[in-house]
Structure 1
Amino acid sequence: MGDMLLIGLYALLAGTAVAGAGAVVLRLLRGRSVLVHILVLLAVTVLAVVAGVAVVAYAMFLSGHDLRVVLVTVAASAVVSLLVGGLFGRRLAAAAMWARAARERERRLEAGRRDLVAWVSHDLRTPLAGLRAMAEALEDGVVADPATAAEYHRRIRVETGRMTQLVDDLFELSRINAGALRLIPTAVPLHDVVSDAIAGVAPLAASRRITVLAPETGWPVVRAGEPELARVVRNLLINSVRYTPADGTVHIAAGLDRDDVWLAVSDSCGGIPADDLGRVFDVAFRGERARTPSTAAGGGLGLAIVRGLVEAHGGRVGVRNVAGGCRFEVRLPAA
C-alpha cells in the first residue's frame, strides 16, 4: 500500500507541475482565440498524463528496454490524443464562434426591431392624425372653399400613398427576414432595369431639380430575379435623389468584373460621416445628420431592403464616400 501511495504522489506532483505551467501559459494567452485556449487545455491534459507516467516509470527503476517501451507507448497515445482533440477542438471553437456571432446578430436584429417599431409608430401616427383632422373638417363642412377642399383631398391622397409605401416596405422586409423570399433567377439585361428605374424616379428628381445621368451603352447582363433587382435599383436611385441637394447630380453605371456584375449609384449628397457608414443599411436609419434633411425622406427601410435583396441573390452591397458625395455599389453574379 505504501508503494501505491508513493506512486500516486509522484504522478500527482508531475501532473500538478504541468498544470501549473499550463495555467501560466493560459494567463499569458488570455487575449487569444477560443481555439488557442482549447488546444492549450488539451495539451496540458495530455502532458500531465505523460509526465505522471514518465515520472512513475523512472521511479520504478525499470530496465532500459521496458522504460523505452512505456515511453514510446505513452508518446504514441499522446500524439493520437492531441490530433483527435485538436480536430474536435477546432470544430468546438468554430461552433462557439458561430454561436457568439449568432447571439450578436440576434441582439442587432432585436435592436433593429425596437427601432423599427418606434419609427413606424411615429411615421403612422403623424399622417393618421392629419388625415383624421382633414376628413373631419370635410365631413363637418368646416372647409367650404372648393380650392381648400381640393387641397385637402390632394394631401389625403399624398399621405395615403406614403403610408401605402411604408406598409409595402414593411411587408417586403418581413419576407426577407423570415426567409420567405422566393427568387426566380433569370438572365436580366441591366439596361432595361435601370431605364425603368430612372423613368420611375423622374418625377421626384424633376421636383428637386436633380439630374440623373446614365451611359447609353456598356450595360451587362446579370443573373437575378427581375422584380427584386428592379426594386434594388429603384430604392438606390430614390435614396440618392432624396438626399442630394437641389440642382445636384446622380450618376448610375455598371460593368463586368470577372464573374461579378457591379452596379454603382453615386450622388452629390456631401458625404456620410465615418461613424454612420456602417449603419446606412440598418433598419430605420435615415442619416439626417449625414445628409441634407429632406421632407420627402422615407421610412428608413429602403436601404435595409436593398441589402436583404442583394444578399438573397448571393451578392453584396456597400457604400463609401467619394468627392462631394457617396457611392453605393452592388455586386451580383453575372449571367
Structure 2
Amino acid sequence: MNEQPHVVVAVALAFSVPVAALGAVVLHRMRRRSITAAVTVLVLVPVLAALVGVIGVSGFMYTPLLAGAVVVCAAVAVVTVPAAMMLGRGIASDVMWLHEARDAERTAEASRRELVAWISHDLRTPLAGIRAMSEALADGVVAEPDEVADYARRIRGETVRLSGMVDDLFQLSRITSGALQLTLSAVPLHDVVSEAVAVEGVAAARKGVVVRADVHGSWPVVRGSDPELARVVRNLLSNAIRHTPPDGSVVVVAGVSGDKAWLRVDDACGGIPEEDLDRVFDVAFRGVTARTPEERSGGGLGLAIARGLVKAHDGDIQACNHGPGCRFEVSLPLATTAGAES
C-alpha cells in the first residue's frame, strides 16, 4: 500500500461507483414496490460500495486492511439492515395511513356535497308549497273558511316537515363533529320499544301497516342513553313503515346473545338490491328500486343518524334482506352494575 493517496482514491472510486450506480438502477426499478425493501437496498448500497472499493484498493489480496474493512462493513450491515427494515415498515405504515386518510376525506367531502344537494332539493319543495299557499291566503284567492282551514293545515304540515329535517341535520352534525355527549345508564329496551311503537303506530295505522313488538326470551336491559336509543328505534320503525305497503307488517324483536343485547326490525318492503345494502346507512341515500314508497319524506338522514347513535353506544347495526322485506339488527352492550353506575 505504497500508492499515492490520489491513486488510492481513484482506484476506490473506480470500483465503488459502478456498485453505487447499480444500486441506483435497482432502486429505480423498485420505486413501485415495497418501501421496506427499497430502504434496505438504500442502506446496503453504500456499505457494499465501500467494501468493493476497499477490495479494489487491496488488489484483491488478503491484507489486514481488507480484513478490518470486511469486519466493519459486516458490523454496519448487521446494525443498519434491521434498522432500515423497521424504518421502511414505519414509512409504509405512515404512507398507507395518509392514503386512507385522504380517501376518507374524499369520501366525506363527496358525502357532504351529496347531502347539500339532497337537502337543497328537499327544502325547496315544502318551501315552495308554503310560499304558494301563504300568497294565496294573503291575496284573498282562498276565502272560504273550509279552504282557509285546509291551507292552514297544509302549511302546518309542511312546517312540521321542515322542522324535522332541521332537527335531523342538527343531530347528524353533533354525531359527525364528535359533540354528542351521552349520559349512560341502565335502559330497559321494553320501555324504549313500547314508546316508539306507540308513537310510530299512528302513522302506521294511517297507512294500514301493522306494527307489533315481540320478545325472544325476556326483554334485555342495555347500557345506553334513553333519548338517543329512543331515537334509534323510532328512526328504524319510521323507515320500515314508510317502505312497507298497506296491509303489511313491521315486527320488532329483542333478545340477548352472549354479553350483547340485540334488537331487530323486520319490514315487508320487498327487499333491498344487493348492491345497495352497504349504502343504506349513507347520508341522504334513499333507494328507489325495491324500496319505492308512495310518498318520500325527510332528507334521508334517519338511518345515518341511527347508525351514528348506535356507534356512539359502542354497538353495531346491520341491514340484510329477510323474508318479504328487510331486517335491521342493532347490537348493544348489556347493562351491568358497574356500567349502570358510571
TM-score past 0.5 threshold: yes
- Kept in 1: contact 2:44–2:81 (CA 8 A): no
Indicate the residue corresponding to 2:45 in structure 1: 48
CA contact (8 A) 2:197 2:212 kept: no
The Cα shift of 1:65 comes to 6.3
Match of 1:104 in 2: 103
Aligned mates of 2:61, 2:74 — CA distance in 1: 17
Equivalent AA in structure 2 for residue 318 of structure 1: Q
In the TM superposition, residue 321 of structure 1 has moved relative to its aligned partner by 1.9
What is the one-letter code of the residue matched to 1:268?
A: A
Q: Tell me the residue number matched to 1:75.
A: 74
Quick one: distance in 1 between partners of 2:257 and 2:91? 38
For residues 113-152 of structure 1, what are the structure 2 equivalents within 5 Å? 113-152=112-151
Give the CA deviation at 1:302: 0.7
Aligned twin of 1:15: 20
Partner Cα separation in structure 2 for residue 96 and residue 260 of structure 1: 37
Partners of 2:294 and 2:64 lie apart in 1 by 87
CA distance in 1 between counterparts of 2:315 and 2:85 reads 34
Number of aligned pairs?
327
Output the aligned Cα RMSD.
2.2
How much does 1:23 deviate? Answer: 4.2
SS in 2 for 1:187: strand
What's the secondary structure of 1:115's corresponding residue?
A: helix
Structure 2 residue 54 is the aligned partner of structure 1 residue 57: yes
Pick closer, same or farther for the CA change 1:162–1:71 going to 2, 3 Å.
Answer: same
- Give the distance between the partners of 1:137 and 1:199, measured in 2 at CA: 37
> 1:248-267: per-residue Cα shift (whole Å, max 9, x none)?
12222233333333222221
Compared with structure 1, are the counterparts of its residues 334 and 75 closer, same or farther at alpha carbon in structure 2 (3 Å cutoff)? farther
For residue 47 of structure 1, what is the amino acid of its counterpart? L
Equivalent pair of 1:18/1:51 in contact (CA under 8 Å): no
2:177 partner letter: A
Task: State the 1:221 CA deviation.
Answer: 1.8
Secondary structure of the residue aligned to 2:261 is strand
Return the offset for 1:22: 4.6
CA contact (8 A) 2:36 2:87 kept: no
Q: Distance in 2 between matches of 1:73 and 1:208?
A: 85
**In the aligned structure 2, how far is the partner of 1:211 from the partner of 1:80?**
73
CA contact (8 A) 1:276 1:290 kept: no
Letter in 2 for 1:54: L
The answer to whether 1:210 aligns with 2:215 is no
Over 3 Å counting, the alpha-carbon distance change for 1:165 and 1:15 in structure 2 is: same
Distance 1:85 1:290, change over 3 A: farther
Farther-moved stretch of structure 1 (40-49 vs 308-317): 308-317
Query: Which segment drifts farther, 299-308 or 281-290?
Result: 281-290
C-alpha deviations, 1:78-102, integer Å up to 9, x for none? Answer: 2322322333332332222222222
Distance 1:83 1:254, change over 3 A: farther
Which whole-Å deviations, capped at 9, do the CAs of 1:264-295 have from their partners, x for residues lacking one? Answer: 22212111112222221111111123412231
CA-to-partner distance for each residue in 1:23-44, whole Å, 9 max, x for gaps? 44x27xx4x6xxxx21111121
1:302 maps to: 302
Task: Report the counterpart of residue 169 of structure 1 in structure 2.
Answer: 168
Give ranges in structure 1 of 5+ residues lacking alignment: none
Check conservation: 1:16, 1:48, Cα contact below 8 A.
no
Structure possessing the higher radius of gyration over alpha carbons: 2
Structure 1 residues 266 and 52, CA, compared in 2 at 3 Å: closer, same or farther? same
Which deviates more, 260-269 or 184-193?
Answer: 260-269
Asked if 1:198 is matched to 2:197, the reply is yes
Deviation at 1:69, TM superposition (A): 4.2
Q: Distance in 2 between matches of 1:320 and 1:120?
A: 27
- Alignment correspondent of 2:8: 3
Q: 2-side partners of 1:99 and 1:40: how far apart?
A: 20
Q: Which amino acid aligns with 2:21?
A: T
Contact between 2:17 and 2:49, CA under 8 Å: does it hold in 1?
yes
Task: Go from structure 1 to structure 2 and tell me whether the alpha carbon gap of 1:92 and 1:256 turns closer, same or farther (over 3 Å shift).
Answer: farther
- 1:268-279 equivalences in 2 (<5 Å): 268-279=268-279
Do the aligned partners of 2:36 and 2:92 also contact (CA within 8 Å) in 1?
no
Q: Identity across aligned pairs (percent)?
A: 52
Code of the residue aligned with 2:289 in structure 1: it is R
1:173-231 residue CA offsets vs partner (Å, 9 max, x unmatched): 11112211111121211111111111111011111221223224522222122211111
TM-score by length of 2: 0.87
CA shift for structure 1 position 4: 0.7
Structure 2 unaligned blocks of 5 or more:
1-5, 336-342
